[in-house]
Amino acid sequence: MFDKSTAKDPDALIHHTPPKDVRDRFALRLVKFMRVFADKFFAKRYGHRAVVLETVAAVPGMVGGMLQHLKALRRLRDDEGWVRELLDEAENERMHLMTFVKVAEPSRLERYLIIAGQGVFFNLYFVLYLFAPRTAHRVVAYLEEEAVISYTQYLEEVDAGRVQNIAAPQIAIDYWKLPPDARLREVIIAVRADEAGHRDRNHEMANELASSA
Q: What is the pLDDT of residues 30-63, one digit of tens each?
A: 998 887 777 666 666 778 778 878 888 999 999 9
Model confidence, pTM? 0.89
Per-residue pLDDT band for 11 (boundaries 50, 70, 90) equals low
CA distance 182 to 169: 9
Which has the closest alpha carbon to 146: 26, 72, 35? Answer: 35
| Secondary structure of residue 72 in the 3-state scheme | helix
DSSP string, 168-205: PPHHHHHHHT--TT-BHHHHHHHHHHHHHHHHHHHHHH
